[in-house]
Structure formats: C-alpha cells, structure tokens
Amino acid sequence: MCGIVGYIGPYQASDFLVEGLRRLEYRGYDSSGVVTIDDGEFTVTKSTGRVDDLVEKLKAHPARGSIGLGHTRWATHGPATEVNAHPHIGGDNVVALVHNGVIENFRELKQQLAERGYYCKSATDTEVVAQLVASEIDARCTAPNGAASNAAFSAADRYSALVDAVQAALSQLRGTYGLAMVFRDWPDVIIVARLGSPLVIGVGDDEHFVASDGSPLVGHTDRIVYLADHELAVVTTHSIRVIHRDEGDVRHKVNRLDIDTTQVELGGFPHYMLKEIFEQPETVTAAIRGRLNRDEATAVFGGLNLTAQQLRSIDRVVLTACGTSWHSALVGEYMIESFARIPVEVEYASELRYRNPPMSPHTVLFAITQSGETIDTLAALREMKRKGHPTLAICNVVGSTIAREADGGIYLHAGPEVGVASTKAYTSQCVVMALLALYFGRMRDLSFDAGLRIIDELAALPKYVEESLECNNETRRIAAKYAACNNFLYLGRQFNFPTALEGALKLKEISYIHAEGYPAAEMKHGPIALVDKHTPSVFIVPQGGVYSKVIANMEEIKARGGPVIAVVDKDDSQAVELADEVIHIPTVPEFLQPIVAAIPLQLLAYHAATFRGCDVDKPRNLAKSVTVE
C-alpha cells in the first residue's frame, strides 16, 4: 500500500518519477505527489486522484531537478486530500519525505513536536516523521545563527551528522515504514529506510533509482538492491551506503531483476486484468515447468530447503494467506488432504498472527502470497518461525520480503500481476498446491501409478486452461444481462466451494455488486432468503462426487424463482436443463476443476465491471499490496 519512487542522477527526475508512479499505482491511487530539488529549493506538486491528474499539473508547472521523490497514496490516516498527499515537508523546508506504512505512535510524537515548535498541517501519520527528522537535523546540523551550516562541517561530517539525525528520528518511531527523503541542504543525497514495508534501490550507470518494488526499474536497470528491515541507505548519484541499525555499515548485494518491459505493459488489452486472465495458459505452464518428475512419479521443487527427514516427519500443514491467496489455500487443503492424507488447516494470516494455537513440533507453515509483502502474512510467518516451525513461502514476486524471510519456498513464475484483482496468480497458486499435494502424497500413501496419472493430468492443464478461455463471449453476454443486479450468490461444493468464494470476491471487488460465496448446501441456512428474480445464483457444477447434490441445490433456487447461471462440463446434461444460463468448461479431474472453473468467473466479473463503468484495474478503496494492518 502506497508506492514510493526516487531518482538521483544526471537526468530530469520527474520523468522517472511519473513513469514509476504509474507502475506502482496498483499500490494505491487516492492521491499522488512528487518533490524535486531545483536550485536549492523544493518543488512540490500534489494531486488528489490518479497519477494522470498529477501529470496534468506537472504539464502546467514542470518540476525541474535531477533529484526527486514520488508517492502514490492509499489513505490510512486522513482522507484523500491534497494536504494529506505526500511528499510531506518537515521544519522550514528542511526535508521532504514520502512514506509507506503506519506510524503507530504518531499522536504522542505530534504532541511532543508541537511543544518544540514543529507543527503538522495534515492529518497523516507521515508528516510527523518529516517534522521529527527536521527537528533532529535542526538540533544537530544548525549553526548558531539558525541557518543550516554547511560550512561548519567537513564533507564527511556533514553526511554523518545527517545520518545521525535520521537515525535518531527513526529510533523514536513505532510501527512500519518504507521511507525516502531528500534534504534542501544536502541536495546530492536521498536517504531511504525500511522497517516492515518494502524498498528497493535500482543501480544504474551513474544514476540510482528508489522504488517500492522492481517494476518501476524495468527499462532503466536490471540491477536491484533489496533493503532489509532496520536498514537505511544513503544514495548519491555514484554510491550506495547501507547502514544497519545494530550492525553499522553492511555490504549490500546487487541482484538481477528478471522482468522485461512487455510484462509490465498492456500489450493491446484494454485492462491489465483481461491481459492477465488471457495469460493463464502460459502462467500455468510456467508454474508446472521443470516440476514434474515422471521417473519418480512425483513433483520436484528446488527451494524447499527442508531435509528428507523433516519432510517425512511433517504431521500437520498450516496454510496461511489473505484475500484471493487464502482461497487458493482452501483449494490446497482439499488437494493435500486427499492426496497426502496430512491434516491441513487454513488460517487467515491476520488471525493467525495473534492466535496461539497448539501445534505439534512437526507442523510446517506455508505462507501463500502473490506480492510477498502482505503485512499480516509476513507477521504470521514470523510468529510461526519464532516458535520453531519450518516456514515456506509460495510467492510470485521474486526477492519480496516473505520470499526472503521464509526458510524456503516455491515461486509461481507468473510474471508481474498489475490488475488489483488477482487472477493469474490465483490459478498458479492452485497449480502449486496440486504439485505440493502430489509431492507429499508420494512421500506417503500415494502409489506410483496414481502419481503418474496426476502428472499426466497436470501436464494437460495448460490446454484445458486455453479451452476455458473460449467462454469469453458467452460470459460477456451473460454479464450484460445481469450487470444491473445488486446481489449475486456463488455456490459450489467440495473442491469448488473455494471457487465459489473466489468468484464472489472477484465480482464484488471490481464491480461493487454484493456477492456471497457459499457451500451450495449451506445456502439453505441463510442466503436462500436473498433469492428472488433479481438475485442470480452462479453454480459451479462440473461432474464429480457431489454433482447430483449440487443439482438438487440448484432445484431449490429455481423453485424460488432465482435465476441460475451454471458453470458446467462440456458433456453436462442435467444442469443445462435447469439453468437459465450455461457456461461450459472442459472436463477435467476434480482436483483441477478449481483452476479451469475460476476462469469464467474472472471473466464474468470483468465484463460485469466494464458494463457498470467501473475502473477494473483500480477498484475503489482497494490496493494490490496490503502493507498495513
């Protein structure tokens, strides 16, 4: 939540800042702003709304200067007004600062600062940090006449006094932060710091970039430094110095960023969400690639980092996640329990982090997360790690905090997901769940033959995903017919209960239609009261063990006059008779149904949202990467 960019080098900073903010807009889009330093003065431009609104302002009043910062905001403290937009200025134009995270003790600090003459104008927690940094700089670096004294310090002293001041300010903060700041009297340096919120530095040729993640760097550099918690970096045009709170100066590692420009562009699609839906044959292939071993009839993973002994002794699996990733965990529960017979528990990360459930020493935790930055998922992982459990990440973003903090893990290799509503990451998570179920199953009761059959089915999956996409026109037609409805039910059983939850979530997050996902039989205990001719029920009813039961549930809805939209197998005969609308998916084994059935539901939500005129890629109030509690 909230995106940060920064630039220092020989070129106009605002070009990179604006382009970078567009790439980070998925992190929040309540307001945006930039600051540059030109001729020893800050130029601050802010706008409520989207980055496009900021660009219009910058066209009228360009922000010159070859050092600067930018920010796109997801409001936590204070509404989305210009005064609350970042950057925030501290003191008498001493520092300009952007922030991602939450400062929990900002009220106390605000009061203390006011007593010392540093007043905040905004309602944000961030401005307190700006004032705090300014007060520490003023205390350390100001000459007796009150002006910031460059002359009073040698060049080295000037920087160390500045770093001391920033560190002193940071030491007073409670909460989480990714921070980037520039200084009027040190116009050749950006200081960044992180605790709990992501920050990276891009290493260019005689220029450096700062960002919340790697996407703004694409096209500028493929060399990236990931800052760790409690680290602060002093970034100049030619150098990066990383200082850890407890360890002092530390060597930083320059990693390779493996994203290319086509992955972060629309490529002819009207929205990222649609592009990402249509990428699924490739992303599913990428999740499977190199992970099927026919000789051993099992899956292979390079990075679990657990010994064979540890793997065999696992007696319980905890899957933790948030949002859509939590739905893939539910799918994983069905898969792992049926293939491997290991008890699985699925926990909301936001609950798990504060619970203390009894766990055997051989419990393993998988944190499932597209971004690898969700704060609750990270906190749950840390909590389980603290208690000595092996922690593994199933993650899309390479080098993300959760990927780095877990003991090991599995990458999705789905490429950047830009649309706020997760699509391709979800199906890749389900694929990885199937691979894991196979892997654990083959370590236990699953026979060689059964393992080989699962491998064949997984190998054929990309073809089925391709076939699922053929329902695009049909879902568009159905969406047009029902887009005006205000309530939807999504119903499925067993493997497709999570599909129902995910379908409902997709619809509500991007089209703002209220939707509830329910186990099909359970709807009799409440949601059936909602059924009338204006409340469609979407049934996920492919062939399988519970097919006839779900058909009976469908009859119950029909008997009450509710329209039924049925997602069915190609060769279905009963559901097609009952349903008002039918969407066909390929016939696949039950464990793969959540993957192929998710696709029409993604498309249904997408088309409903576009018919309702919603901003599909940037739904109101949401952000893709939730880095605050």
Residues contributing to the site for ligand G6P (CB under 6 A): 322-325, 369-371, 374, 377, 420-422, 622, 624, 626
Name the β-bridge partners of 196.
177
What whole-number distance in Å separates Cα of residue 427 and Cα of residue 346? Answer: 18
What whole-number distance in Å separates Cα of residue 567 and Cα of residue 577? Answer: 13
- Cα–Cα distances (Å) from 411 to 39, 254, 344, 400, 431, in that order, read 46, 20, 21, 11, 11
Residue nearest to ligand G6P (CB): 323
Least distance between ligand G6P and beta carbon 627 (Å): 10
Assess whether the previous peptide bond of 519 is cis (omega < 30° from 0): no
Q: Of 331 and 566, which CB lies nearer to ligand G6P in the complex structure? A: 331
Q: Of 451 and 594, which CB lies nearer to ligand G6P in the complex structure? A: 594
Least distance between ligand G6P and beta carbon 325 (Å): 4
- Cα–Cα distances (Å) from 157 to 171, 506, 518, 599, in that order, read 21, 55, 64, 60
Residue type, 576: V
Q: Of 396 and 535, which CB lies nearer to ligand G6P in the complex structure? A: 396
What are the catalytic residues?
A: 2, 624
Least distance between ligand G6P and beta carbon 322 (Å): 4
The DSSP result for 122-173, as a single string, is SS-SHHHHHHHHHHHHHHHHB-TTSSB-STTS-HHHHHHHHHHHHHHHHTT-
Least distance between ligand G6P and beta carbon 283 (Å): 15
What whole-number distance in Å separates Cα of residue 320 and Cα of residue 350? Answer: 9
What whole-number distance in Å separates Cα of residue 437 and Cα of residue 431? Answer: 10
At 450, which helix (H) or strand (E)? helix 448-468
- Ranges of beta strands (E only) in 370-434 are 391-395, 408-411
The pairing of strands 564-569 and 537-540 is parallel
The pairing of strands 208-211 and 3-8 is antiparallel
Q: Of 73 and 220, which CB lies nearer to ligand G6P in the complex structure? A: 73
Q: Of 376 and 590, which CB lies nearer to ligand G6P in the complex structure? A: 376
CB atoms within 10 A of CB 171: 9
Least distance between ligand G6P and beta carbon 272 (Å): 12
Q: Does the CA dihedral 349-350-352-354 come out positive or negative?
A: positive
Least distance between ligand G6P and beta carbon 331 (Å): 14
Q: Of 135 and 325, which CB lies nearer to ligand G6P in the complex structure? A: 325
What are the counts of helices (DSSP H) followed by strands (DSSP E) for the chain?
A: 19, 27
Least distance between ligand G6P and beta carbon 420 (Å): 5
Nearest by Cα to 569 from 582, 580, 556: 582
- Residue 263 phi/psi, 5-degree rounding, is -75, -20
Least distance between ligand G6P and beta carbon 626 (Å): 5
Residues in the chain: 629
Q: Of 367 and 582, which CB lies nearer to ligand G6P in the complex structure? A: 367
Q: Of 368 and 541, which CB lies nearer to ligand G6P in the complex structure? A: 368
Least distance between ligand G6P and beta carbon 378 (Å): 9
Q: Of 346 and 523, which CB lies nearer to ligand G6P in the complex structure? A: 346
What whole-number distance in Å separates Cα of residue 436 and Cα of residue 446? Answer: 13
Cα end-to-end distance, the chain, whole Å: 10
133, 181 contact by CB (below 8 A): yes
